A = this chain, B = another copy of it.
């Protein structure tokens, strides 16, 4: 079931969702088995930003019904150290590397894309546009016009395939996808987490209720969001010609098949990897059994 994705040959349609699998940490934990049994057709690294980020204060996790809420806050070592320290390690993986980047301005994004463009270890770039606009507070990816403008400015800075990871927190994700396509995106990926709130569990009566998460609000992921993800992927796939990377609550080959049937070219496993680091391997196995689909 080998697949051509933006000119990259992939062994199968399963990749990881950015930020849900740290291949470098996994290599420390699982040793060479990580490389020998690597389950993803391509590896998508966690979002990096121009400057290092420590991320949001803990607690960062909350378990929801059929899912989880996270408020990690995009901790990362910043572009420079990522390129120097992580890229060589990630280049050793037996799968093409997709680097996920995020910037709060066209200038920042352009810098990130330029840096990626220079590195042959990188097969493609995924641009996370779920970044809150400093002025409006909305995700820059939530408004089609704004998204097209930003992409138009940054697209020329890299010749590598550019995947735009859309935000699901918008009125019309298909319009955003069309805007991204028209502005030169080679693919789109969705869905990112849904904005969500986790109240602190009631402690001593009278104690002021508030958010559980150090970051205030967080993002909902896991099976709970799969029906929303399928609706957004289907809506996007119906409107764009570029390949779609579908994700959101995928736990089984049957779920993955639902996204492919909805029009996705690739599917990504995220939260399910937390329940089993080799969940994606199981799904790929299930795929090759007709029964699964």
Contact = CB atoms under 8 A, between A and B. Distances in A.
Interface of A: 62, 64-67, 69, 138-139, 142-143, 169-172, 194-199, 202, 205, 209, 217, 220, 223-228, 230-232, 234, 249, 254, 257-258, 261-262, 290, 293
Contacts of A293: 202
Given A139-B171, A172-B138, A202-B254, A196 B66 contact: no
A72 B2 CA distance: 41
A201 to B, nearest CB: 9
Contacts of A142: 171-172
B199 A67 contact: no
A23 to B, nearest CB: 28
Nearest to A141: B171
Given A65-B66, A142-B171, A196-B227, 6 more contacts: A65-B249, A67-B227, A138-B172, A139-B171, A197-B230, A202-B257
B262 A231 contact: no
A278 B254 CA distance: 36
B199 A230 contact: yes
B290 A228 contact: no
A224 B290 contact: no
Contacts of A139: 171
Contact of A205 (B62, B195, B223, B290): B290
A222 B139 CA distance: 26
B262 A197 contact: yes
A190 to B, nearest CB: 13
A112 to B, nearest CB: 24
B224 A67 contact: yes
21 contacts: A62-B227, A65-B224, A65-B249, A66-B67, A66-B224, A67-B227, A142-B171, A170-B171, A195-B228, A195-B231, A196-B228, A196-B230, A197-B227, A199-B261, A199-B262, A202-B257, A205-B290, A209-B258, A209-B261, A224-B225, A224-B227
Interface centre among A228, A261, A293 (most CB of B within 10 A): A228
A223 B65 contact: yes
Given A202-B293, A205-B290, A261-B199, A228 B220 contact: yes
Nearest to A259: B199
Contacts of A220: 227-228
A233 to B, nearest CB: 8
Interface centre among A65, A205, A262 (most CB of B within 10 A): A65
